[in-house]
Structure 1
């Protein structure tokens, strides 16, 4: 865990107050981090050591609390969580910080959001890293209705659906607004087509745990893109892959290969 948690700031977009941190080396090349469903910038990027890892690599590190999550505004209407809309929150943060181009890392839902960001604003992204999401970006990641039901259940004790229990327990642990999360999960599952993937020309690294039963194959997804490669994170499931050293090393190697251009 990061010894000195970053200071969070707020900016306004689309009628919401959105939370973010801007840490690391001010003069470093910016990397923007987008967390997964039911998580937050702290839970996804600070606690597992990403901020520390990227700081040591000399990077400027920016992370947003997605709407409905962390310290950001939490609308309860499902229509507020279309990934195109959430991608515009990220674009607005880049504008707010006067950042023209950034490397972007997204985990799970964050990877989906970054895909829509890349489709709408390809000139703003130097490279993409997707964690916790493979071919499920195109084919879907299963039935998530039981997860919404689990989030709205009176208590964890009455939830029997295994994946529902996992996300309800995670939401309870992080003190999340479960109504906002249920709204988010109901409208965030927009898929990306193969034709859209073929338009994403920026270098892309896709990393998925070998025991992740949500993401789908990273290799199948990489095969659909002009400049993508896939990495397996050995023995890690959807929840544990995010902080794995194999994932971090793969990202640092990827950035070193990209160079300073």
Structure 2
């Protein structure tokens, strides 16, 4: 096992269409697949701020993929490498690759939406976590996708301090690939309201107190038969850095 989080080895596998994806693991025990947000990486979302460590300490094997077009996964520039709903297909491919049958599933922002897509398409984790995501971001992906498309196609033009400028600054810190990330937008898939209402397992919907980027987290929790709404400090960008996120996930899974 790695002696420190920064030494987590990179594992690789070929997804459903042959695109090579990367993932890292921390801890031992019950498997938990955690998916990061758009522009980000597994290391940034889950390892850097201690969330994976907190969860691993509760007896979990935390499995953290890098989405296609992100991090250490392949970043093809060919639009054909980004079919509709490919991120959910990648999630299913990882679960198949690892032979997981009894596991939990979660994600932050785009990762939370990807987890929701997997649930709507038949994934059967024992518990699920959808963080940094609200009902609008599940039912209608075009709105938030349009914002990112505008940023990626107008890089270098935004006034310092604006949301767009901050988004671009984050892109630079993670050394994101604008071409690949623009293509990722074409994978976005809406989930119908009735599909959300049919998700049967316990789901934690947790978001920052000031995070309304993807609509109401409380409304999403209310729509789920066994949804629970959790609130942590911060907005969409800052909540993922707060220790309360990892604590909320760990406590939910340990119940």
Q: Mark yes or no: TM-score above 0.5.
A: yes
Alignment of 1:222-241 (within 5 A): 222-234=221-233, 236-241=234-239
Alignment of 1:91-106 (within 5 A): 91-106=92-107
Cα separation, 1, equivalents of 2:144 and 2:84? 18
After superposition, give the CA deviation of every residue in 1:59-117 in whole Å (9 maximum; x if it has no partner). Answer: 11101000000011113345644562211111111111111132111100011111111
Partner SS, residue 176 of structure 2: coil
In structure 2, the partner of 1:255 is 253
Cα separation, 2, equivalents of 1:221 and 1:24? 30
2:12 paired with 1:10:
yes
Seen in structure 2, the aligned counterparts of structure 1 residues 192 and 79 have a Cα distance that, compared at 3 Å, is farther
In structure 1, the partner of 2:180 is 180
Q: Tell me if structure 2 keeps the 8 A contact 1:36–1:106.
A: yes
In structure 2, the partner of 1:59 is 60
Q: CA deviation at 1:53?
A: 0.8
Partner SS, residue 70 of structure 2: coil
Structure 1: tracts of 5 or more residues without a match? none
2:117 paired with 1:116:
yes
In structure 1, the partner of 2:85 is 84
Seen in structure 2, the aligned counterparts of structure 1 residues 20 and 113 have a Cα distance that, compared at 3 Å, is same
Cα separation, 2, equivalents of 1:63 and 1:44? 10
Q: Tell me if structure 2 keeps the 8 A contact 1:208–1:217.
A: no
- Using the size of structure 2 for normalisation, the TM-score is 0.90
Q: CA deviation at 1:46?
A: 0.8
RCO higher in structure (CA 8 A, sep ≥6): 2
After superposition, give the CA deviation of every residue in 1:169-203 in whole Å (9 maximum; x if it has no partner). Answer: 11111111111111213x24432121010111011
Seen in structure 2, the aligned counterparts of structure 1 residues 68 and 140 have a Cα distance that, compared at 3 Å, is closer
2:23 paired with 1:20:
yes
Q: Tell me if structure 2 keeps the 8 A contact 1:149–1:182.
A: no
In structure 2, the partner of 1:196 is 195
Partner SS, residue 237 of structure 2: coil
Partner SS, residue 243 of structure 1: coil
Q: Tell me if structure 1 keeps the 8 A contact 2:5–2:47.
A: no
Q: Tell me if structure 2 keeps the 8 A contact 1:84–1:117.
A: no
Q: Tell me if structure 2 keeps the 8 A contact 1:32–1:103.
A: yes
Q: CA deviation at 1:166?
A: 2.3
- Using the size of structure 1 for normalisation, the TM-score is 0.88
Q: Tell me if structure 2 keeps the 8 A contact 1:151–1:167.
A: no
* Paired residues, number: 249
In structure 2, the partner of 1:211 is 210
Cα separation, 2, equivalents of 1:144 and 1:22? 29
After superposition, give the CA deviation of every residue in 1:107-128 in whole Å (9 maximum; x if it has no partner). Answer: 00011111111122333x1111
